[in-house]
Every structure is written in C-alpha cells, then in structure tokens.
Amino acid sequence: MHNTRKITSDLVWLGASDNRLELFENVYPIPQGISYNSYLLNDEKTVLFDTVDSSVRRQFFENLRFALNGRNLDFAIIQHMEPDHCAELEDLLRIYPQAKIVCNMQIKKMIAQFFELNISDEQFMLVKEGDTLNTGKHTLNFISAPMVHWPEVMMTYDATDKILFSADAFGTFGSLNGNIFADEVNFERDYLDEARRYYTNIVGKYGPQVQAVLKKASAVEIKMICPLHGFIWRDDLGYFIDKYAKWAAYEPEDKAVVIAYGSIYGNTYDAMAVLASKLAEQGVKNIKMYDVSKTHASYIISEAFRASTIVLAAPTYNGGIFVNMENMLHDLTEHNLQNRRFAVVDNGTWAAMAGKQMKDLLALLKNCTFIEPQISLKSAMKDEQIAQIDELAAAIKADL
Ligand code: FEO
C-alpha cells in the first residue's frame, strides 16, 4: 500500500512517519513522532533524494515502487549519511542495482564505514560544490553544507523549479499527518516550538556553519524547501528562514524570562515561585518555569535559545551542582548558546557551592553576562530574603 503525495508535476514525496519511537537519536523525546522525508524526481532520468530510517522501510519501498511506476531508478542522491536517512541504502541497491549513487567523497567514505557493499567506483558519481547533474528538464546543483548536521552533508538545488533539498536543515520534530506542506497547518501555533527544539538540539552547536549555508542560499531564488524531516515550505519561506537566521546567530527571539530550577524537597522551587511573582508584579509577562528533573534538557535548551534571560536555580549536591541541573548545563554549554543574560540562585544547607560552579560553566559561553545579585539560600528562603528577591526581580526587569 503506497502513501505518497505529489509536490509538483514531476516531484513526489515518498516519506513516512514513526509514531512509536520514544527517543530520536535515542536522546530526544518525540511525543508527536518524527517524519523521514524522501523525494523522487521523475524527469527523463529518475532521481531519488535520500532514503529513510529503517523503522519506516516498508512504506518507503512501496512508495518508491509506486512513484517509479515501472521505471528504473537512475540516480540516488545521498545528502547525509546519518542512518535516519541512509539506513536503506543497502536494500535500495539490492532492489535497484543499476542506480548510480550521487554523493561527495566524504559520503562515499562513510558508505564504506556503515555498509559492506560491493560497489564499483563506476557506480558512484562523485560531486562537489558547484557541480551539476542534468536529468532532462531539471538541472541539479550541489551545495556543500558541512556540519549541518554532520561534516559530509550536502544540499541540492533544483535550478529549474527553484527547489532547495535542504537535508536536515529546516526540519521539524513531529509526524506528518497527511499535511506535508507547512502552509497546510498552523505552523507557528502547533509546530514552531518543536522546530526550534529540533534545530537547537540537533544543529544549534553549528551556528556559523548554518549561517554560511544561509548566505549561499540567499544568492539564489528559492521557491520551495524540501527538508528531510517535517514540512515542505512553499509559502512564506522568509518566515522560517528568518527564524533560522536568528537561531544561527544566537539571537534571542523573545525578550522573555525562563526560570530553570532543580529542587530536591521544594525549597528552591518555592524561592523561584516568589521570584516569578515578583517579576510578574514588575510587569514581566509570559514567564516560563521548568523543573530540570521533570523536563528533558532538550526543551530547556530550546527555551534558552528563544528567551533573552535565563534564571538558573539549584541546590548544592555532592559538593557540586544538583545533578540534573549540572547535566542540563553541560548540554547547554555544548550547544554554544551566546548573547544571553543569566541570573543564578543556589541553595545549601551547610556549604553552598552550586552558584559558583554554575557561573563557572556559564562563563564558557560567549557574550553571556550575569544579572546581580546572585542569591544564596540556606535550606529554605525566609522572609528576610524577600528584599534580595525584589532586588533581583527589579534588575531582571530593568535588563529586559
Ligand atoms: Fe536527520 Fe542528521 O539526521
């Protein structure tokens, strides 16, 4: 049973979604599932853009057989060798042994690392930046996109229909539910948060490389973006490209406060709840609070990319930072967040150490500064510390 959708008169979406997977990359919760996109161009030659994750292989091969409608597969363009896209390469070549693999040298090397395939050099068409492939009506241009998200990644620009096949870039977590175009859903309301969580966690570390690709893309006219996850963009592309430009430059989207706290028995939370109320009294709106023990770090990292101001509060634990806060902070610093304002609160019953150690970790981030005062709680907040909380709330408000 096939399940495809037509994109243009000669381009077909062959993707499928996995709603059973708990953790994408065995790390990121995906409560709304994930889609793996693949595309077939039916020109004088037939061209496949990437395969899929093995979890949706049956649907993919049925879609491909249907879309080819009895024709041979002439070219398989491999843009990214991560197994969520290349897992079915071996079976693809077993079923379509004459297909020529179009890729760059680094991808060819990775194919040999992932698979034991007996492919002759003649079966490869090696391409590099600026090379083209003419398939009849269409001319495909290859663009290298290193570190978006692995070093071998390349993108493909169809100069005839002005379509960018963007690999992982412009992807979104979440299954596709019949609607494969971003203009068929309320993207901002229902998917922007998951698009941000996808970008920041998967590619967020590589902002300069994303900026380099955005610069290359700005030199050509793009009417459609076909990514390997999530929606195809054919309308209001500037909206999503602007989001990417902001995320890649580590600029906050919102002047907003996010409070991420760890709290073993609730005392640190209570102090942060007071801070949130004081901020609200100061006129700060849309305050978000996250418990680092309950909220997966990927959500907090995404929120830290969205907001201008992040308050971090944690108890001292084993002479250091409360473990779930420490893990989240390591993850955050690995993603190279920049240009943010942080406020730090710690708690300790006998030797409060977490505040200094949190600041030491955050000091690794470029152009990030601290809002004072740094507050240190002793077991539980007392009324006499409310003045300090008032002072911090006023400083945060003034800084927004
Ligand atoms: Fe969707 Fe980097 O793989």
- pLDDT confidence of residue 118: 87
Last residue of a domain, one of 248, 266, 297: 248
**Do 227 and 320 have their domain in common?**
no
CB 229 near ligand 1, within 6 Å:
yes
Query: String of b and e for 113-129 (b: at least 16 CB within 10 Å)?
Result: eeeeeeeeeeebeebee
Ligand 1 atom with minimal separation from the 168 CA? 1
Query: Does 253 reside within a domain?
Result: no
Q: Whose CA is nearest to atom 3 of ligand 1?
A: 82
Q: Are 88 and 210 found together in one domain?
A: yes
CA of 27 to the centre of ligand 1 (A): 13
Q: How far is CA 353 from the centre of its chain?
A: 33
Q: Which CATH number does the domain housing residue 78 bear?
A: 3.60.15.10
Same-domain pairing of 227 and 94: yes
Q: Which amino acid is at 144?
A: S
Same domain for 263 and 358, yes or no, is yes
270 lies in the same domain as 222: no
Helices (H), the chain: 57-68, 83-86, 89-95, 105-114, 187-190, 192-202, 207-218, 237-248, 267-281, 297-306, 323-334, 354-362, 386-399
Residue finishing a domain among 183, 215, 248 = 248
pLDDT at 373 over 90: yes
Q: Which of 82, 15, 95 is nearest to 49 (CA)?
A: 15
Identify whether residues 288 and 228 lie together within a single domain: no
235 with 340, same domain: the answer is: no
Average pLDDT over residues 88-98: 97
**End position of a domain, from candidates 230, 248, 266:** 248
Q: Are residues 265 and 146 in the same domain?
A: no
281 and 237 both lie in a single domain? no
Residues 106 and 232 in one domain: yes
Q: Is 228 close to ligand 1, i.e. is its CB under 6 Å away?
A: yes
What's the domain range around 393? 258-399
Residues 82 and 176 in one domain: yes
**Per-residue pLDDT reduced to its tens digit, 94-126:** 999 999 999 999 999 999 999 999 899 999 999
Give the pLDDT score at 315: 98
Q: Tell me what pLDDT residue 322 has.
A: 98
| Cβ(357)–Cβ(247) below 8 Å | no
Q: Is residue 34 part of a domain?
A: yes
Count: domains in the chain: 2
CA of 83 to the centre of ligand 1 (A): 8
* Other Cβ atoms closer than 10 A to 278: 19
Are 286 and 229 contained in the same domain?
no
Which tens digit of pLDDT belongs to each residue from 346-362? 999 999 999 999 999 99
How far apart CA 275 and CA 288 sit, in angstroms, is: 12
Per-residue pLDDT of 143-200, as tens digits, reads 999 999 899 999 999 999 999 999 999 999 999 999 999 999 999 999 999 999 999 9
- The three-state secondary structure class of 132 is strand
Model confidence over 212-230: pLDDT tens digits? 999 999 999 999 999 999 9
| CATH code where residue 355 lies | 3.40.50.360
